[in-house]
Amino acid sequence: MPKATDEELNSRYAKGEIRIVTESARYSLAGILTMLQGTAPLEGDSSGKTEPRYKLDPEYQRRHRWSVERKSRLIESFLMNVPVPPVFLYERDLARYEVMDGRQRLTALSEFYGGKFALKGLQHWSDLDGRTYSQLPSKVRDGIDRRYISSIILLKETAADEKQAAMLKKIVFERLNSGGVELTGQETRNAVYNGPLNQLCLNLSENESFRLMWGIPLDPMADEDNQVEDSEATDESTDTGRRMFEKMEDVELVLRFFAYRQIDSFRAGLNKISDFLDLFLMAGNRFSPDLLRSYRDMFQSTVAFLWSALESDAYRVIGISRRSTKIVYDPVMYVANSAEVIDARDRLLAGKDVLRAKLIAMYSDHQALFSGRRTNFKDTQERNARVREAFASAITTLGRA
């Protein structure tokens, strides 16, 4: 395909096809807490309900939490007048904003002004360790109150419609975060395509059996020092499970279960599954409440069945590997939710040793297929078929018993 001419490029630029519209603002630190507590009438709602004017959804970006020491170092930076990077806001509606980058900074400031933590681990003002905002010496408190944090606001008129807004938000969000730890696909999705289906995936990722099957602690946000060593949520996979949680891979797995049901229409197989999940989530955020309720029931009942039947082995190549993998998760969840298996779940649970034996034999015969290196469309279909055959064989055997 021939490249555009200079004239065409100039015309395209003049039309502003892809151009971010921004403005800058400065916020007094002393007013941060009040600002973040501000509300506005809920759009399109006549009941008088309100919503936060500044949306600091705790799940909006990443799950990595700042420690008290890191929050304290931010406060110390303001005390020393060290330049702090601006926060980036997206104007989702007139005078209503989402925090695209800087949530941790704003949260730390609002918590400090709200007296929710005492300073700890300061390097140059260590004499202030142990003090909350209200306990600071008056001159020190006045000094920090006169500091500001800058912001860059992506204005609503940046995008002509919702689809373009999502695309531009994704571009900005990814590039804002390109200098740090690389974002996972779900972290970006969570920020850019948040909506009813995304929220459902977040909620379902807290399913206790689901977390146990992946080795995710039941309370992954608790401090590691407070973890109970003998807790049923703690096993050899806990470190891996915690990393999955931090990267939002657990949320992606829930979304993956819903999207994988349409895998027959995605000829790229798993090679470009991230693109498929993006498209599915964008479409799914427009699903009706009734359909989303059926999705919730579908996921919960499938996980409950597999936990009862196979426990922690549900997503493992049983007899070969002790590690849960996506390459097993996809076809097992897919088949376990099929009509023929749903009708036979009681029989399979009553004879779960038979099901386990059939799966062990199948995995033994097809080790290479479930090794994780074969991800094209044909391999995806073959894995579905092999798992379906194992379940069908178990159902047939139990039917004769």
Q: Return d(Cα 72, Cα 390) in angstroms, integer.
A: 56
On the question of pLDDT at 194 being above 50, the answer is yes
On the question of pLDDT at 62 being above 60, the answer is no
The CB density around residue 288, as the number of other CB atoms within 10 Å, is 9
Question: Which of 318, 333, 330 has its CA nearest to residue 365?
Answer: 318
Q: What are the pLDDT digits (tens) for 28-48?
A: 999 998 988 888 887 766 777
pLDDT for res 189: 84
Mean pLDDT of 333-337: 97
Question: Which of 64, 108, 67, 100 has its CA nearest to residue 84?
Answer: 108
Q: Model-level pTM greater than 0.85?
A: no
Q: Return d(Cα 61, Cα 192) in angstroms, integer.
A: 9
Average pLDDT along the chain: 85
Q: Return d(Cα 50, Cα 8) in angstroms, integer.
A: 46
pLDDT for res 368: 92
C-beta of residue 87 within 8 angstroms of C-beta of residue 107:
no
